[in-house]
Chains A and B, each alone.
Chain A
Amino acid sequence: MLNEERIILMTQLAAYEVNEGKRNVKIGNYFRSDYIAIQVLKSIVSASIAFAIVFALYVLYDFENFMQDLYKIDLIAFARDVLIRYGISVVAYGVITYIICTYRYSRVRRSLKRYYHNLKKLSSMYRE
């Protein structure tokens, strides 16, 4: 005899697993701190590359003047200035990533909690 309620639950669970569940399970496998740390590290790498690209464009934008002034400017002060800007950019991007990932992780945990609850419910239906 077909159990309609069980079939509906199974369909919902299967649909979840195929769609957002796939990504959520992957995130849910991490501890909270591990997930956030990995994402922040990725962000630092991304921000570093992006900063390098923007800096390269900045140099190329006024390349002739930059090369002329290279021997006149205080290179250490210039490097310090660039590093401070780099630090601010990376830290700001890291903080934004931290906030987004914390929110995303808690949302995923809630979603997975519902999913596992439904799995238990399905399992109990089979035992009845």
Chain B
Amino acid sequence: MTGLLEFREKIKQLYIKTEFLLVPFLKFLLALVALITLNGQLGYMTKLDNIAIVLIVALMCSFLPNGFIILFAALFSLLHIYALSMEAAAVSLCMYLVMFLLFFRFSPKDSLVVVLTPLLCVMKIPFVIPLAVGLLCGPASIVSIGCGVFVYYLLDTVISSAPTINAMGEDETTAKLRLVIDGILGNKAMLVMIAAFAITVLVVYLIRRMSIDHSWTIAMVAGVMTNIVILLIGDLLYDTNMSVVSVLLGSVLALAAGKLIEFFRFCVDYSRTEKVQFEDDEYYYYVKAVPKMTVSMATKTVKKINSQTRMSQQTRNPSGRSVVTEHTGRRPSGSSRVQGNRGNYRGGRSVTINGQDAGDMQDLDSEDFEELF
């Protein structure tokens, strides 16, 4: 466990150090994957299916706010659908506008959820999303998940209707509209999925906020179970053709992802829980304090003592001497303590001494250096 905690600290430090590069890179990567997936799934407009255009747009997304990823993805999908059929594009545009006007204005911060949900649906691992959102966000994010699922099924309907739309004549405008609208509104699988995800987010959110031991783990398991049960009931009621094996596998994957999130966000040691009780003039307080599992990073002290390359000294001490002292201080997880925001990381110290007479330095031991610096 200590090794894992050290690894977590290293990742955290790496993130802090490279945040200014890492965040734009991750945004670029997300936009790139989203646009490539759109091109791969729809791909009706061959001009857009060009890696140069995709790269340029993804690069733009890397330094623009997150909402622009949604904007460009919506634009790409609309252009592709327009190349297939103007009527389908009009219906899609209307749906996007309704979503934007009614739902998305209440949770504009969750733009990543709206992009990730359809993306993970395409990758056949959508069950990670409600679990992650329940653990990291609030119930308001249900709206974003619902929008994401809706977008996935909208595009899925267009893809599945494409052969029929292509077979229709130019003058069958109303029939094309009807085909797309019926395909979306009559999609029971979509409604079941939205209901399952919404209830799962609520269950996970409510349980993980409870003052019980292992609340996050219980929340995850309860969330996954709820999700499976609702999906199976939906399958029985509406015959949504849900594959039980894929649901179970996806749920196991979601649990694994949930444990990973828990490790980074809520790693606590329940064995050292403290329950205290005190009072003031107005209240009695029953406080439960659960210490976070932390570990100090290995502290390295490197001392290099190089002799000056002067000829006279080289004669006295021809080879430059280098002393490297390294010691690691590690606090085991059992001795961790409750911390505030300050953390207890003590970075390694590197000391290089140049221009000193090596002969003089020989008498000094490492204790003296600690005092000096």
Partner of A50, one of B91, B97, B174, B181: B97
| In the bound complex, CA of A114 to CA of B349 (Å) | 37
Interface 1/0s, chain A 70-96, versus B by CB < 8 A?
000000000000000000000001000
A46 lies within 8 A of B102 (CB): yes
B98 lies within 8 A of A64 (CB): no
> What is the chain B residue whose CB lies nearest that of A89?
B102
> What is the chain B residue whose CB lies nearest that of A97?
B106
A33 to chain B: closest CB distance in Å?
20
Q: Does A54 have its Cβ within 8 Å of any Cβ on chain B?
A: yes
Residues in A whose Cβ lies below 8 Å from that of B174:
60-64
Q: Does A56 have its Cβ within 8 Å of any Cβ on chain B?
A: yes
Q: Does A125 have its Cβ within 8 Å of any Cβ on chain B?
A: no
Residues in A whose Cβ lies below 8 Å from that of B98:
50, 53-54
Residues in B whose Cβ lies below 8 Å from that of A50:
97-98, 101-102
Residues in A whose Cβ lies below 8 Å from that of B177:
57, 60-61
How many positions in chain B have a CB within 8 Å of any CB in the partner chain?
14
| In the bound complex, CA of A122 to CA of B178 (Å) | 64
| In the bound complex, CA of A50 to CA of B102 (Å) | 7
Interface centre among A47, A56, A60, A93 (most CB of B within 10 A): A60
Residues in B whose Cβ lies below 8 Å from that of A53:
94, 97-98
A57 lies within 8 A of B94 (CB): yes
Interface 1/0s, chain B 97-115, versus A by CB < 8 A?
1100110011000000000
Interface 1/0s, chain A 1-27, versus B by CB < 8 A?
000000010001000000000000000
How many positions in chain A have a CB within 8 Å of any CB in the partner chain?
18
Partner of A56, one of B94, B101, B341: B94
Residues in B whose Cβ lies below 8 Å from that of A42:
105
| In the bound complex, CA of A8 to CA of B174 (Å) | 64
A100 lies within 8 A of B106 (CB): yes
| In the bound complex, CA of A56 to CA of B97 (Å) | 13
A46 lies within 8 A of B101 (CB): yes
A114 to chain B: closest CB distance in Å?
15
If over half of A's interface residues share one DSSP class (helix, strand or loop), that class is named, otherwise mixed; here it is helix
Q: Does A38 have its Cβ within 8 Å of any Cβ on chain B?
A: no
Q: Does A49 have its Cβ within 8 Å of any Cβ on chain B?
A: yes
Residues in A whose Cβ lies below 8 Å from that of B105:
42, 46
Partner of A8, one of B94, B101, B342: B342
| In the bound complex, CA of A61 to CA of B178 (Å) | 5
Residues in B whose Cβ lies below 8 Å from that of A60:
174, 177
Residues in B whose Cβ lies below 8 Å from that of A63:
174
Residues in A whose Cβ lies below 8 Å from that of B94:
53-54, 56-57
> What is the chain B residue whose CB lies nearest that of A53?
B94
Residues in A whose Cβ lies below 8 Å from that of B106:
100
Interface 1/0s, chain B 160-178, versus A by CB < 8 A?
0000000000000010011
Residues in A whose Cβ lies below 8 Å from that of B101:
46-47, 49-50
Interface 1/0s, chain A 85-128, versus B by CB < 8 A?
00000000100000010000000000000000000000000000
| In the bound complex, CA of A52 to CA of B36 (Å) | 34
Question: Known contacts A61-B177, A61-B178, A63-B174; is A93 also within 8 Å of B102 by CB?
Answer: yes
| In the bound complex, CA of A93 to CA of B105 (Å) | 12
User: Could you list 16 A-B pairs, sorted by A, with CB under 8 Å?
Assistant: A12-B341, A46-B101, A46-B102, A49-B101, A50-B97, A50-B101, A53-B94, A53-B97, A53-B98, A54-B94, A54-B98, A57-B91, A61-B177, A61-B178, A64-B174, A93-B102
Task: Name B residues whose Cβ lies closer than 8 Å to a Cβ of A.
Answer: 91, 94, 97-98, 101-102, 105-106, 174, 177-178, 181, 341-342
Shortest Cβ-Cβ A-B pairs, 7 listed: A46-B101, A50-B101, A50-B98, A53-B94, A63-B174, A50-B102, A60-B177
| 10 further interface pairs, Cβ-Cβ under 8 Å (given A54-B94, A56-B94, A57-B181) | A8-B342, A42-B105, A46-B101, A46-B105, A47-B101, A47-B102, A50-B102, A57-B91, A61-B177, A93-B102
